[in-house]
Structure 1
């Protein structure tokens, strides 16, 4: 409170043109305030010069984009409200798109929902990395879920239903595989409800299905989701990837580094890998246990190689 009072007195003595000067780093004082997330000081500065809302800072970003980039939810909400109250200016659509993706990336979902409600076509736009909003959400692991994730996912799917130019089948498929890798069951359930045929989709590069991904990334929740699909699982079990691996081969491969059950010691990890392999082994038909991949290895042989390598690395 004392610092706020000091700033208020200091700003009161300043000329508004002084506040609009950009410093060496390209930021005004207001931009720096947006980055630090101090809403009280932002209110004081805007009271002196409302134009500060539209003066760009570093990387040619508006203050609201800087606040969003820094992950400040209250500041981003405050600045969004102020931009909407300004009757003489508005955020250019190109900047609106950038802000939209920043809010998704930093889990500022209250602003994400307002932007999506106002501009439904945002659901079909790709970011600089070529990702749609759905693909971005699909990559978020539910173990890191924040409040509002489900609501935003629901809004995205509703917007996709209402938009004439919606996502392509390839984009939907990519989102599904990303969700499987991250264990994002919520996105998977939304996708498979609206597009049940995606269940049998195979990645064109590695010829891997949803079940293959669940095996390779040790996503037990995805694995169980597929098992609950009735007779569909019988079809998926038969699929072979580009290296001739069936699902038991993939269960015998090393877990991807980012998906290691949250375990810390090599001993515990190896034990968990063995239990995972045994669980999958029980559900596949005998012929798949004897099947050799393109390297001439059966699933059991591949698993033995994996375990020996793990044992050597733990010494």
Structure 2
């Protein structure tokens, strides 16, 4: 290409990027070869690629009229056809319609990788409306898993990841064999369902009003029975709702219903399985364990009871499934297996190659992603002990003394793996106790001084306090005594925390209980101290005409320390109380396998 040609091409590109068709057409008239198929392929891109990238519908329509259908099959420098460029850049449906009418073959031409057909690219890049339209016009044969094609499985994986469950459900109902087909990473669609559906099978933790709205919002039956609508905005209560929150709840409930239908479809195709497909289910169950998708495990094993052997077979599954459940602290799945009527945990305790049994797996340190959700190293240590004790309760007693390759029984292995966390828990507990002790000692000093310094002095004749007959004086005495006794108790309890031995077992009940008592008595001492102060002020101003105007602001100010303590320390008290004496992290009542 000559220098003059390069200049003309630069003018053409600039005109198309600025949506100036007449200037672009003038260049094309002077150099018609720019629209030749061979010319565009040799340059690694065509004017149509540029127009598609900028989303200029008018220019695209004019160019499509001038070119041959093969022109839409040319790859640019990055390996994209004009339709693929539209799918990745602008997501323009009118441009896509124009190109497809010219050449429908472009729907099946992949981009850089064999599975990157336009419909998958559009959804992957966030152009959901275009993706839904392209799916409606893409031939089913393109997505079928023939000759080990990964196009369909990759498309389904993309749909599951971005929450387009109705599209995935519609395709799976049309082509159920895709359930066992594998994507580019050699993961089956069922495995991707196990990975993608955990958070879409149940409603999230919503406030009361939103839970009420979630319960009463009606989902059209067509949205959960394989019906597919090109427009991403479904008709119904969700689209009519004016409030954005209602739309979100409607969308959430719709996704939950569609996810449940996908799981139903999986279960319907698990009755008769060859050995190869059983291996697919085994992998899917392992993925479900990683994601704590207990419902997937339960429904799949109920659909085909023979599949339960895939996770209870000691020689093939313990190193993967049970180790994943126990080491990654998947409480919901663990609770499910505790609820099975037959004893599988005894089998699961069998040793693997490193001679670690199930209790050794429980003695390992939990992943950081799990521990980071728990506040404070002491509570993390407590949760680790709770998990270890729960697993210990289901294994045979003999396995508690079983030694691994290092010669350690499970409890010793637990202590070895939790040395650093135990030290961090001790530091956290001591720092908390020291800080609270300072406040407690200060309150003890103040309230003891207030008790021995009688308000208003004593009667010289009787020796009794001057305000002995005042009701507010009795309030002062009672609140002062309560504050003194409770603050003294809190100081002693915190002293007990500082002098504890800090053995691993102490983090289970002993130390948390002391912290609960210390924080509770400290809160009581602060509250009663403020009551005592308010009573004192009211007694001093009992004959003052401006008593109300003085005592009311002072009483309100007296509530500030209580409020500050509640905001800063009360959440900690609730967390410790809930973690120690609240509901177990393991469900006692779980749905049993029949």
TM-score class, shorter: 0.7 to 0.9
- Cα distance in 2 between the residues matched to 1:47 and 1:124: 31
TM-score, normalising length from structure 2? 0.45
From the superposition, tell whether residues 151 and 101 of structure 1 become closer, same or farther in structure 2 (CA, over 3 Å): same
Structure 2 match to 1:59: 113
Maintained 8 Å contact 2:100/2:107? no
Higher RCO by CA contacts (8 Å cutoff, separation 6 or greater): 1
User: Are the counterparts in 1 of residues 319 and 352 from structure 2 also a CA contact under 8 Å?
Assistant: yes
Using the TM superposition, give the Cα deviation of residue 164 of structure 1 relative to its aligned residue in structure 2, in angstroms.
7.3
Structure 1 residues 56 and 99, CA, compared in 2 at 3 Å: closer, same or farther? closer
Give TM-score, length-normalised by structure 1: 0.78
Residue 104 (str. 1) matches residue 141 (str. 2): no
Deviates more, 1:18-27 or 1:181-190: 18-27
Contact 1:34 1:66 in 2 (8 A): yes
Q: Check the 8 A contact 2:323/2:361 in 1, yes or no.
A: yes
Which residue number in structure 1 is paired with residue 58 of structure 2? Answer: 9
SS in 2 for 1:58: coil
TM-superposed CA distance for 1:187, in Å, is 2.0
- Could you list the runs of 5+ residues in structure 2 that have no partner in the other structure? 1-18, 20-51, 202-251, 428-594
Equivalent in the alignment of 1:250: 361
Aligned residue for 1:228? 339
For 2:157 and 2:413, how far apart are their aligned partners in 1? Answer: 39
After TM superposition, the structure 1 = structure 2 runs for residues 16-31 of structure 1, keeping only pairs within 5 Å, are: 16=65, 17=67, 20=72, 21-31=74-84
Question: By how many angstroms is 1:157 displaced?
Answer: 2.8
What are the superposed Cα offsets for residues 253-285 of structure 1, whole Å, 9 maximum, x if unpaired? Answer: 112455447347655433321222233334445
Question: Alignment partner for residue 158 of structure 1, among 261, 265, 268?
Answer: 268
Contact in 2 for aligned 1:141/1:182 (Cα 8 Å): no
Q: For 2:404, which of 293, 297, 301 is the aligned residue?
A: 293
CA change 1:99–1:157 in 2 (3 A) is: farther
How far does residue 224 in structure 1 lie from its aligned partner after superposition?
0.5
Distance in 2, matches of 1:310 and 1:30, equals: 55
Q: Which residue of 1 aligns with 2:133?
A: 78
Q: Which structure has the larger Rg over C-alpha atoms?
A: 2
Residue 43 to residue 309, structure 1, CA distance change in 2 (3 Å) = same
Other-structure match for 2:187: 131
Assess, with a 3 A threshold, how the Cα gap between structure 1 residues 236 and 185 changes in structure 2: closer, same or farther. same
Pair 110,71 (structure 1): closer, same or farther in 2 beyond 3 Å:
farther
Q: RMSD in angstroms over aligned alpha carbons?
A: 3.7
* Counterpart position of 1:34: 87
| Ranges in structure 1 where 5+ consecutive residues have no aligned partner | none
